[in-house]
Amino acid sequence: NAGVTQTPKFQVLKTGQSMTLQCAQDMNHNSMYWYRQDPGMGLRLIYYSASEGTTDKGEVPNGYNVSRLNKREFSLRLESAAPSQTSVYFCASKDPLPLHFGNGTRLTVT
Amino acid sequence: GENVEQHPSTLSVQEGDSAVIKCTYSDSASNYFPWYKQELGKGPQLIIDIRSNVGEKKDQRIAVTLNKTAKHFSLHITETQPEDSAVYFCAASLQGAQKLVFGQGTRLTINP
């Protein structure tokens, strides 16, 4: 089992560019999450999907959109990247506990 | 909503000594308290968790204690080793809830 797989591992964008971060899990979990990690701020929830077909905003959703493509896949889209979105992004899943994380995507917006 | 505060933000201890990281939470309804370890370049990984029906849980050199009255819980690592160097996160939630709220993290360094 691979667990939670995120692609890409690294990405550099220019301000205004768009991109989609991909996440897939092979544990048959119902719930999936996107977090961002910034120094001194811990892990902050961007969006989550409690089950296939549903998505909800977390603590910091502005500037992001998500798609729960099927039970396995949950993508995060930045439509117009801003320097404030420079961060490490983690996808996670659970059903019901504990939460399992991927290894992250390090995104730099210049 | 829930708010979790974690202290200290950095901790440096000598190899073989003990390390303690503390967290406080705000929502008295929370009943699930996990601890995660994050190594460099990796995602956080669960190391131990505790439900509110117990006050302490141990797993080899790691233990977690919970004080529901005071709304705080702590991670204790004994006989620290270099491989314990990492960032540690606490979190809190209701067991059936969708959202886990994390503390700010503690960077633990074990000095040889």
Joined together, the tokens standing for residue B42 give 């990796």
pLDDT average, residue stretch A81-89: 97
Q: How confident is the model at residue A1 (pLDDT cuts 50, 70, 90)?
A: low
3 state SS of A31: strand
Angstroms from B49 CA to nearest CA on chain A: 9
Q: Is the dihedral of CA A81, B36, A69, B41 positive or negative?
A: positive
Give pLDDT < 70 ranges for chain B: none
A69 in reach of chain B (CB within 8 A): no
Single-letter amino acid code for the residue at B74: S
Q: Is the dihedral of CA B19, B10, A6, A69 positive or negative?
A: positive
Q: How far apart are the first and last CA of chain B?
A: 41
CB-facing half-sphere around the CA of A17: CA atoms within 13 A: 13
Angstroms from B43 CA to nearest CA on chain A: 4
Q: Which residue of B has its CA nearest to A10?
A: B41
Can the peptide bond before residue B82 be classed as cis, meaning omega within 30 degrees of 0? Answer: no
Q: How confident is the model at residue A82 (pLDDT cuts 50, 70, 90)?
A: very high
Decide if A96 and B96 are in contact by the 8 Å CB cutoff: yes
pLDDT at residue A2, rounded to an integer: 80
B37 contacts: CB under 8 Å, gap ≥ 6:
B44, B45, B47, B86, B87, B88
Give tens-digit pLDDT for B80-99: 999 999 999 999 998 777 88
**B9/A37 Cα distance (integer angstroms):** 15
Decide if B102 and A43 are in contact by the 8 Å CB cutoff: yes
pLDDT at residue A70, rounded to an integer: 95
pLDDT at residue A56, rounded to an integer: 96
Q: Which residues of A touch B105 (CB under 8 A)?
A: 40, 42-43
pLDDT average, residue stretch A21-30: 96
The answer to whether A21 and A109 are in contact (CB under 8 A) is no
Joined together, the tokens standing for residue B35 give 């601890």
**A30/B98 Cα distance (integer angstroms):** 11
